[in-house]
């Protein structure tokens, strides 16, 4: 069975969307483990409710990345659970090269903008402040860097005159909940290939 591991720091709505989609479509995908750096993360409660193995691995020394020792713990757990794919779903830490090398092109992320525009924090607010007419969300393979890596799927969200950061973020998240589960499905079905850093998708 194709097995995923999910890393999440926040409210876990993308995790929930992936789990619901797997159930609804009866996909042969197992969620092997949910890991978080934040004991308060709702993702851990979602995993518990669904009977999925879950664990908080905190990082005390750094705020934006994991120390080598902590990364090792994440990698060990993911390997133990034999995950085929690591899904970052609002995991608020940058992964370092050692972590990435353990899972070459097997780590994906969702970002709330049309990358390469607006990487980093509060991307919906960046888009609003810049004045773009359209923004959206992107799934991509993770490489070393902040929100960089070969793009898999994107969905477009128009920016409305009356938008506040909250309203725009909400509409972006609705699209995230469509493209992230679909991305996981396509990868599990072997329909995504990378060639020279470019992603090719077959038969959807």
Do 153 and 199 form a contact (C-beta atoms < 8 A)? no
- Residue from 160, 157, 141 nearest 149 by CA: 141
176 binds ligand GRF (CB under 6 A): yes
Stretch that binds ligand GRF, among 6-14, 24-32, 100-108, 158-166 (CB under 6 A): 6-14
Q: Which one among 46, 52, 83, 90 touches ligand GRF, defined by CB under 6 A?
A: 90
- The verdict on 87 binding ligand GRF (CB under 6 A) reads no
Tokens found for residue 189: 């079905």
Please list the helix, strand and coil fractions of the chain in percent, rounded to the nearest 5, in that order: 35, 25, 40
Query: Is residue 6 involved in binding ligand GRF (CB under 6 A)?
Result: no
- Measured from the CB atom, is 168 or 187 closer to ligand GRF? 168
Distance between CA atoms of 109 and 103, rounded to whole angstroms?
A: 13
- Please say which residue, 72 or 96, places its beta carbon nearer to ligand GRF: 96
- H helix intervals, 81-159: 97-102, 123-130
* Cβ nearer to ligand GRF, comparing 29 with 87: 87
Closer CB to ligand GRF, 54 or 111, in the complex: 111
Establish whether 111 is a catalytic residue.
Answer: yes
> By beta-carbon distance, which residue lies closest to ligand GRF?
90
Helix 123-130 to helix 165-188 angle (10° resolution) is 130
Collapsing DSSP to helix, strand or coil, 86 comes out as: strand
Compute φ and ψ for 103, nearest 5 degrees: -130, 70
Q: Which of 135, 173, 183, 188 binds ligand GRF (CB under 6 A)?
A: 173
Among residue numbers 102 through 131, which ones bind ligand GRF (CB under 6 A)?
A: 110-112
The residues carrying an active-site annotation are 111
Residues in touch with ligand GRF (CB under 6 A): 8, 10-14, 89-90, 110-112, 137, 173, 176
């Amino acid at each position: 069975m194709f097995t995923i591991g999910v890393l999440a720091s926040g409210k876990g709505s993308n995790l929930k969307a992936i789990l619901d989609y797997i159930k609804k479509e009866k996909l042969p995908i197992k969620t092997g483990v949910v890991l978080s750096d934040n004991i308060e993360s709702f993702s851990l409660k979602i995993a518990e409710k669904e009977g999925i193995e879950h664990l908080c691995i905190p990082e005390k020394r750094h705020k934006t990345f994991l120390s080598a020792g902590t990364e090792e713990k994440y990698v060990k757990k993911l390997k133990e659970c034999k995950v085929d794919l690591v899904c970052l779903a609002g995991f608020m830490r940058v992964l370092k090269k050692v972590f990435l090398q353990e899972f070459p092109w097997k780590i994906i992320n969702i970002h709330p903008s049309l990358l390469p525009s607006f990487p980093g924090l509060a991307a919906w607010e960046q888009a609003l402040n810049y004045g773009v007419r359209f923004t959206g969300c992107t799934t991509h393979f993770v490489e070393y860097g902040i929100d960089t890596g070969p793009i898999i799927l994107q969905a477009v969200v128009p920016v409305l005159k009356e938008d506040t950061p909250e309203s725009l973020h909400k509409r972006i998240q609705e699209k995230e909940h469509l493209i992230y589960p679909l991305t996981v499905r396509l990868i599990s079905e072997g329909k995504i290939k990378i060639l020279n850093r470019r992603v090719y998708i077959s038969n959807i």
